[in-house]
């Protein structure tokens, strides 16, 4: 295997260009320097769409001043989709075809782990996210999302199984949840999975892309285009917002989503955040609140891939939540992680999002639930960044569709 080191040393300064932040303290204020323009310089797909508030898009650029390096520690993965920390600091990595690998933080990747049911790995499907159970050290249980295909169609499913003692297979795999209804295509499965502090599970689902299924994001009797909240056994969490609502699925936590592929909990506030793919423009970062409607496909900052307007061509509507931040042109946001370490002090509590078609990792500086700075990392690598994980060693780990595993940390 070839190892390639890419060292990125940034000594440009960092000042925020935002009137809303004037006079406020941030963890970057001690860094001297000049004002930086927004990182996005291309024209928006629809220049008639205007942000709902200052700083909702094209916020001031920032530059990391701490010397850091990005190292390709493995380049032999096969279509990886998720990279997740195990309690011992190693990395669990899923591969779309239906296998999982365990990697050390120096890039030693184990043999493919089997034991999964057949997955629908067409297009955007496959074996997708992975998360260890909170009691993994004792139970060795892992939870997964995957695209399940049956004669009825396909859907986003959640399963669990025990990692064998010799780490060669998943034992006694069982499916605990299915995001109904089935639909026969291979698009927009969403599929990030995350445990909350109570040991319950958040899952994101897509609205399955087609015009026929797009309205399901607004329907409470369908699990498409939702954030789902279930127990570790697949049952609705007892205080979910639609418990007892006639005609509503009790597992729904929020709705009106398009294709959310990023999910994380802020390390300080404990709040739930997602990244969400828009169509042509209109990619979003959303702060998720129980029971709220995030608007797709009634409001959006994007347009159809054909260039046509979506719906009534509106970006705001009463009763529907605005994104904290959006991109136009797109980032194509996939997996994301908050950086919880202070090894690189200016990154602490920043959000890092893998960009697919944009081929970079976006760093967002967030204060008081608003984005106040944006930086593009690894933009010269030419890679589709599928997922980002916050390591236990003060580094970030990222996987790409092309099969690379990166370690990004202090030099």
Catalytic site positions: 188
Quote the distance between the C-alpha of residue 18 and its chain's center.
26
- Dihedral sign for Cα 121, 157, 215, 271, please: negative
CB distance 73 to 407 below 8 Å? yes
Q: Is 310 exposed, middle or buried (0-12, 13-18, 19+ CB in 10 A)?
A: buried
Residues whose CB is less than 8 angstroms from the CB of residue 149 and which lie 6 or more positions away in sequence, other chains included = 118, 119, 120, 125
Both tokens of 222, joined, read 């369908």
**H helix or E strand, kind and range, residue 139:** helix 136-139
* Phi, psi angle pair for 58, to nearest 5°: 50, 50
Helix, strand, coil percent content, the chain, rounded in steps of 5: 5, 40, 60
SS3 347: helix
Cα-based distances in Å from 115 to 95, 100, 164, 169, 264 = 13, 10, 10, 5, 27
Strands 91-95 and 351-355: unpaired
Residue 137, φ and ψ in degrees, nearest 5: -60, -30
Written as one string, the DSSP assignment of 156-194 is EEEEEEEEPTTSSBEEEEEEEEE-SSPBSS-------EE
How many residues does this entry show for the chain?
Answer: 411
Dihedral (Cα; 227, 231, 233, 236), 10-degree rounding: -70
d(CA 337, CA 348): 11
The angle at the Cα of 321, spanning 318 to 325, to the nearest 5 degrees, equals: 135
Q: Which of 103, 153, 163, 158 is nearest to 129 (CA)?
A: 158
């Amino acid at each position: 295997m070839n190892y390639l080191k890419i060292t990125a040393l940034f000594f440009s300064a960092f000042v925020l260009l935002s009137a809303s932040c004037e006079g406020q303290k941030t963890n970057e204020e001690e860094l001297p320097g000049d004002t930086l323009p927004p990182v996005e310089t291309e024209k928006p797909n629809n220049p008639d769409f205007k942000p709902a508030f200052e700083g909702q898009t094209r916020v001031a650029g920032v530059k990391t001043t701490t010397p850091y390096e990005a190292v390709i520690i493995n380049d032999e993965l096969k279509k990886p989709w998720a990279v997740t920390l195990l309690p011992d600091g190693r990395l669990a990595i899923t591969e779309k075809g239906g296998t999982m690998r365990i990697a050390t933080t120096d890039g030693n990747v184990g043999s493919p782990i089997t034991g999964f049911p057949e997955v629908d790995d067409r297009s955007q499907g496959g074996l997708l996210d992975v998360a260890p159970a909170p009691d993994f050290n004792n139970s060795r249980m892992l939870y997964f999302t995957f695209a399940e295909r049956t004669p009825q169609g396909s859907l986003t499913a959640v399963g669990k199984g025990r990692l064998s003692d010799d780490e060669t297979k998943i034992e006694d795999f069982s499916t605990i949840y299915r995001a109904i209804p089935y639909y026969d295509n291979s698009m927009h499965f969403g599929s990030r999975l995350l445990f909350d502090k109570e040991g319950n599970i958040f899952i994101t689902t897509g609205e399955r892309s087609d015009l026929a299924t797009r309205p399901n994001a607004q329907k409470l009797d369908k699990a498409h285009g939702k954030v789902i909240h279930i127990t570790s056994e697949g049952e609705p969490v007892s205080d979910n917002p639609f418990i007892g609502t006639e005609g509503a699925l009790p597992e729904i936590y929020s709705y009106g989503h398009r294709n959310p592929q990023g999910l994380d909990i802020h390390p300080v506030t404990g709040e739930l955040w997602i990244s969400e793919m828009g169509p042509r423009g209109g990619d979003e970062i959303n702060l998720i609140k129980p029971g709220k409607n995030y608007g797709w496909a009634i409001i959006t900052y994007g347009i159809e891939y054909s260039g046509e307007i979506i719906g009534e061509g509106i970006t705001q509507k009463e009763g529907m939540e605005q994104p904290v931040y959006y991109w136009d042109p797109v980032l194509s946001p996939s997996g994301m992680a908050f950086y919880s370490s202070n090894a690189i002090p200016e990154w602490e509590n920043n959000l890092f999002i893998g960009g697919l078609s944009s081929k970079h990792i976006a760093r967002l500086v967030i204060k008081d639930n608003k984005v106040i700075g944006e930086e593009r990392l690894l933009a010269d690598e030419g890679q589709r960044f599928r997922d980002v994980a916050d390591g236990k060693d003060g580094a970030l780990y990222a996987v790409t569709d092309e099969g690379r595993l990166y370690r990004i940390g202090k030099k």
